[in-house]
Amino acid sequence: GAVVSQHPSRVICKSGTSVKIECRSLDFQATTMFWYRQFPKQSLMLMATSNEGSKATYEQGVEKDKFLINHASLTLSTLTVTSAHPEDSSFYICSARRDFGETQYFGPGTRLLVL
């Protein structure tokens, strides 16, 4: 199956700092990548959809200026949590797919803890 990686796997930062999370498709080119957030004991909630070379589409209630998404190549998307606050602490998961209608493959997730 297709492999998607995320880096870092976990990060602890101080309130007010920015954190960048990388999502890479290792063995295929992903035209679209998705970013999800998962709070403890809850389901995955889609934050934004990112197509290579274009601006991300954010879900309702997700601040685009706080969660900056860049999809500069067909194998890399980044999520930057700007001016992080404790309430941003969560498990962030990306997924990637080759083309429209194809299966999404998920990364292993990044645990963010903001102190």
Partner 1 sequence: GQQLNQSPQSMFIQEGEDVSMNCTSSSIFNTWLWYKQEPGEGPVLLIALYKAGELTSNGRLTAQFGITRKDSFLNISASIPSDVGIYFCAGHEGGSEKLVFGKGMKLTVNP
| Rounded least distance, CB 107 to partner 1, Å | 5
Residue 74 is encoded by which pair of tokens? 């067909």
Contact characters 10-49, partner 1, x per CB under 8 A: ----------------------x-x-------xxxxx--x
DSSP 60: T
What distance lies between CA 38 and its chain's CA centroid?
A: 11
Alpha-carbon gap, residue 110 to 88, rounded angstroms: 12
Within 10 A of 85 (CB to CB), how many other CB atoms are there?
A: 11
Cβ(104)–Cβ(4) below 8 Å: no
> Of the two residues 59 and 63, which places its CB atom closer to partner 1 in the complex?
59
Contact characters 84-113, partner 1, x per CB under 8 A: ---------x-x----xx-xxxxxxx-x--
Residue 110 is encoded by which pair of tokens? 């990044």
Q: Which of 1, 14, 54, 65 binds partner 1 (CB under 8 A)?
A: 1
Q: Which residues bind partner 1 (CB under 8 A)?
A: 1, 4, 6, 32, 34, 42-46, 49, 59-60, 93, 95, 100-101, 103-109, 111
